[in-house]
Chains A and B, each alone.
Chain A
């Protein structure tokens, strides 16, 4: 069945260092890969996403890379700050012909702690 694996489950870095979170997916039909940041008791917030026709996307300190052949994608956060501390989830989905996302299959989550 559809499955998304995420590693590591916890990650502690010093402020200013980089953080990398990796995910693999099983459904080769997946073509949309968003990353979410979730604070305790809150809804997930989209921080960056990538479509399968792109290998890399960057938005300021955040970047995502996708290897469609290997079916894995990664989140890179540079110059981490204490406010980056949260749980991060990767997800895989399928965009229909209209470009709307279908159900999301979430990874297991990574608790990122940025030490000041």
Chain B
């Protein structure tokens, strides 16, 4: 299967600061990246879809100015949580779109805002 690397795996930050999460597809090129968020004991919810070289498409209820997505290359996409608050504490997972049927996921990033 495809190799997807997501960093950091865990991060604790102070309220009001920004956090950047990186997602790399190591052995294939991903023109599209999906970003999901999962609150404790809840399902994975799609936040946004990004395409390399263009602006991301955000799902309803997701603030585009708060969750900045950059997809500058076919192997790297980043999600920046700006001015993080405790309610942003969650598990963030990237999923690059490959060429096959199976979806691949990064390891996930556990964000805790204190």
A104-B110 contact given A109-B42, A109-B43, CB 8 Å threshold: no
The prevalent SS among residues of A at the interface is loop
The count of residues in chain B whose C-beta lies closer than 8 Å to any C-beta of chain A is: 24
Q: What residues of A have a CB within 8 angstroms of the CB of B45 in the complex?
A: 106
Does A46 lie within 8 Å of B43, measured CB to CB?
A: no
Are B44 and A103 neighbours in the complex by a CB distance under 8 Å? Answer: no
Q: How far is the CB of B50 from chain A (nearest CB, A)?
A: 11
Chain B residues with Cβ below 8 Å from A99 are 99-101
Among A32, A43, A93, A108, the residue within 8 A (CB) of B43 is A108
A104–B46 CB distance below 8 A: yes
User: Is A116's beta carbon under 8 Å from chain B?
Assistant: no
A103 and B46 contacting across the interface, CB-CB below 8 Å: yes
> Are the C-beta atoms of B42 and A101 separated by less than 8 Å?
no
Asked whether, in the complex, the Cβ of A42 is within 8 Å of the Cβ of B102, the reply is: no
The answer to whether the Cβ of B89 comes within 8 Å of any Cβ in the partner chain is no
Q: Is B69 positioned at the interface, with any CB of A under 8 Å from its CB?
A: no
Known contacts A42-B108, A43-B93: A103-B49 contact under CB 8 Å: yes
Per the bound structure, the CA–CA distance linking A103 and B108 in Å amounts to 17
Could you give, for residues 56-87 of chain A, a 1 whenever the CB lies within 8 Å of some chain B CB and a 0 otherwise? 00000000000000000000000000000000
Asked if A104 contacts B103 (CB within 8 A), the reply is yes
Q: Do A107 and B43 form a contact, CB below 8 Å, given A49-B101, A101-B103?
A: yes
B105 located at the interface, meaning its Cβ lies under 8 Å from any Cβ of chain A in the complex: yes
Set A34, A44, A100: member contacting B99, Cβ < 8 A: A100
Beta-carbon contact of B105 and A44 below 8 Å: yes
Known A41-B108, A103-B34, A104-B95; contact A89-B44, beta-carbon cutoff 8 A: yes
The 6 A-B pairs of least Cβ separation, nearest first, read: A43-B105, A106-B43, A106-B44, A108-B43, A109-B43, A101-B103
Residue numbers of B with Cβ under 8 A of A are: 34, 41-46, 49, 60, 91, 93, 95, 97-103, 105-108, 110
7 A-B pairs with C-beta separation under 8 A: A42-B107, A100-B97, A100-B99, A101-B100, A101-B103, A103-B46, A104-B34
A interface with B by C-beta (< 8 Å): 1, 32, 34, 41-44, 46, 49, 51, 89, 93, 95, 98-109
